[in-house]
Structure 1
Amino acid sequence: MSADLSAIAMPAAGPPALAKTPLLLAPFFLWGTAMVAMKGTTDHTTPLFLATVRLLPAGILVLLAAAWLGRPQPQGWRAWAWIGLFGLVDGTLFQGFLAEGLTRTGAGIGSVMIDSQPLIVALLAYWLFGERIGLWGWLGLAIGIVGISLLGLPETWLLALGDRLLQGLHIPVQLVGPAIAELWPTDQSWLSALFNNGRWLMLLAALSMAVGTILSRYVSRWADPIAATGWHMIVGAIPLVLGSWSLESQQWQQLGLSDWLALSYATLFGSAIAYGLFFYFAASGSLTSLSALTFLTPVFALLFGNLFLGEKLGMIQWVGVSLSLVSILLISQRDWLTARGWKTRLQPAVIDPALPEVPDRSAQ
């Protein structure tokens, strides 16, 4: 099984890379559907408990899978230090901000905020690892940001903005004023406004996930990526457990059978399997290409929200779905497009640099 996953995660030279897409898409499909499952339980539980239930059991399951596969356990203080930092950022902060933000904003706008993180990953990967995404990659990222914005931003705001732009007029203060006031209330301190607004919490979740994706590259140098994923979930869940125990009440008393089934799905598939696959790929492939697939998460969330929750897509949302798919195609096939001559004088052929070899720490 490990050999198969390694073969899938290795970069491909051209169109055959599409053959690996189904397994690469699995984390984003599972995250999108898990978002739908979690949203249905927010009225019956508390945010930190929701984050704990999604994280702690999933970490135990990943560790059991790692033991069954014979993966080496972390060895040495460096491995545990990186796992601890990884758990704090991608476990505690990401899941905490996500759960808190989900109770304070709609699923659509929340997905937009979270899925802005590929751009952050691209910039950090370029700075730290020398990953260059090239002209086609930047074009794909720009199209993807537009696409997910169309999926989640209020349709009335988009129509009003489009009308103003078509008329060639300046956008008046009356148009943007309410939106700014909603994002940053003036009657609260900046810290209170930040932690009580769902959109800002989702932005913080996006930043946490982006930094966590970068940290996974460093973690993989000192520990097996699958075992490290399980341990970082357990480490990250500890502050969430303490926070829920001290700050929340009635965490599970109102949960019904359907709620527990939804939480079980979010834990097993949306966390254990999805995160195990994602960080395995992140440790052995291009961070920019993998992270760009995150644009599919709101697409899956909207499609399954329509199927199970009766949510409807308008014309603008369908345009957003289409743009998201185009962005994924451009980013995932950017090297092939360049190699086939789809380049300009401004953009030479770019190939992602080889990843540094992961040291074998099993003998420690």
Structure 2
Amino acid sequence: MPAPAPRVSLTLLAAFFALYFIWGSTYLVIRIGVESWPPMLMAGCRFLIAGALLFAWALWRGARLPGLKQWLSAGAVGILLLSCGNGGVTVAEHWGVASGVAALAVATVPLFTLVFARLFGQRNSLLEWSGIGLGLFGIVLLNLGSNLKGSPAGAALILFAAAAWAFGSVWSRRLPLPAGPMASAVEMLVGGVALLLGSQLGGEHLQQWPDTRGWLALAYLVLFGSIIAFSAYLYLLSHVRPAAATSYAFVNPAVAVLLGVCFAGEHIGWPEALAMAVIIGAVLLISLPQWWRREGD
């Protein structure tokens, strides 16, 4: 007897909710966290703790230990998505990039995803290429704003982080990864270790013990930003097309900007506001026509 469709739909909706709203809030939480933590140290602790908890839970549920090839594959994806992707965003916010602007720059992930998917043989439609062109125009507008002008290195780092995340997302669909939550666990463990090594090599150290806000930020990022939302993202990558899985990018900026303005005193100028409209329009252009389509449909 086939599985009832409503259950699948509810699972997908829950996964999209986790991506859209939980991940949208993590930009502000990262901004709060890096006030008390060195950026790579915080990101490394976040993923190492989350990965260890998820790894133990998967083993308790009867998951098999990954083989060497699976460890290498999941580790490579973890370094791209978490060490380069999320770690890059964390460092950029430590350098002064506003949380809402960081989320807006990361909104270019679906555009990079289409480019890398093309390298792996997926054909892009004229509508998708139009979205890429519109998104590139949005990036130009974004860099006209004062937030990224004040930190050119932060701007470059965030775009690199978005490209690394997109490449890792596309590549992960062609790699022999562990099944289920074990894939998330291994990626977080390897990504977390890589970030902690980067923290040591970069000379990071705690100036003083993190305050209560810093610890709460780390706890939120471990539980909600990593275990729940990242697992939901990997679930979507295996059930919908990459552009649909990365469509969180057109909701996250709005959530992050609203929270940043309300709770962190951030200000968004007209270039950023216009860039938000253009980039979100570009992501909608490439995502909506293929919202529920699977790869190969």
What TM-score do you get using the length of structure 2 for normalisation? 0.81
Q: Aligned AA for 1:60? A: A
Shift of 1:207: 2.2
Measured in 2, the distance between the counterparts of 1:157 and 1:31 equals 21
Map of 2:44 onto structure 1: 52
Pick the aligned partner of 1:137 from 101, 108, 128. 128
Map of 1:354 onto structure 2: 296
Where do 5+ consecutive residues of structure 2 fail to align?
none
Measured in 1, the distance between the counterparts of 2:155 and 2:38 equals 18
Q: Does residue 203 of the first structure (1) align with residue 204 of the second (2)?
A: no
1:60-79 correspondence runs (5 A): 60-67=52-59, 70=62, 72-79=63-70
Measured in 2, the distance between the counterparts of 1:157 and 1:88 equals 27
Does the CA-based 8 Å contact 1:216-1:279 persist in structure 2? no
Shift of 1:273: 1.1
What secondary structure is seen at the aligned counterpart in 2 of 1:106? coil
Pick the aligned partner of 1:214 from 161, 165, 170. 170
Measured in 1, the distance between the counterparts of 2:146 and 2:97 equals 15
What secondary structure is seen at the aligned counterpart in 2 of 1:232? helix
Does the CA-based 8 Å contact 2:15-2:235 persist in structure 1? no
Q: Aligned AA for 1:94? A: G
Measured in 2, the distance between the counterparts of 1:211 and 1:333 equals 21
1:132-211 correspondence runs (5 A): 132-146=123-137, 152-155=142-145, 183=152, 197-211=153-167
Map of 1:41 onto structure 2: 33
Pick the aligned partner of 1:285 from 227, 236, 240. 240
Shift of 1:33: 0.8
Shift of 1:307: 2.2
Number of residue-to-residue matches in the alignment: 292
Task: Could you list the structure 1 runs, at least 4 aligned residues long, displaced by more than 6 angstroms after superposition.
Answer: 2-6
Q: Does residue 122 of the first structure (1) align with residue 114 of the second (2)?
A: yes
Q: Give the number of the structure whose alpha-carbon radius of gyration is greater.
A: 1
Shift of 1:6: 8.8
Does the CA-based 8 Å contact 2:25-2:256 persist in structure 1? yes
Shift of 1:333: 2.7
What secondary structure is seen at the aligned counterpart in 2 of 1:40? helix
- Structure-2 change in CA distance of 1:311 and 1:198 (3 Å): closer
Measured in 2, the distance between the counterparts of 1:315 and 1:182 equals 18
Does the CA-based 8 Å contact 2:113-2:243 persist in structure 1? yes
What secondary structure is seen at the aligned counterpart in 1 of 2:40? helix
Q: Aligned AA for 2:296? A: A
Measured in 2, the distance between the counterparts of 1:182 and 1:95 equals 18
- Structure-2 change in CA distance of 1:242 and 1:214 (3 Å): same
Q: Does residue 96 of the first structure (1) align with residue 87 of the second (2)?
A: yes
Shift of 1:276: 0.6
Does the CA-based 8 Å contact 2:101-2:272 persist in structure 1? no
Measured in 2, the distance between the counterparts of 1:225 and 1:38 equals 27
Q: Aligned AA for 2:241? A: S
Measured in 2, the distance between the counterparts of 1:69 and 1:224 equals 12
Shift of 1:92: 2.6
Map of 2:229 onto structure 1: 274
Q: Aligned AA for 2:174? A: Y
Map of 1:14 onto structure 2: none
Shift of 1:234: 0.5
Alignment RMSD, CA only? 3.5
Pick the aligned partner of 2:183 from 220, 228, 241. 228
What TM-score do you get using the length of structure 1 for normalisation? 0.68
Q: Aligned AA for 1:232? A: E
Does the CA-based 8 Å contact 1:148-1:295 persist in structure 2? no
What secondary structure is seen at the aligned counterpart in 2 of 1:332? helix
Measured in 2, the distance between the counterparts of 1:20 and 1:95 equals 23
What secondary structure is seen at the aligned counterpart in 2 of 1:120? helix
- Structure-2 change in CA distance of 1:229 and 1:45 (3 Å): same
Shift of 1:22: 5.7
Residue by residue over 1:195-251, the C-alpha shift from the partner in whole angstroms, topping out at 9 and shown as x without a partner, is xx22222222122211221232134x4421421111111112113223434622226
Does the CA-based 8 Å contact 2:108-2:279 persist in structure 1? no
Measured in 1, the distance between the counterparts of 2:124 and 2:233 equals 19
Measured in 1, the distance between the counterparts of 2:168 and 2:113 equals 9
- Structure-2 change in CA distance of 1:125 and 1:77 (3 Å): same
Does the CA-based 8 Å contact 1:136-1:334 persist in structure 2? no
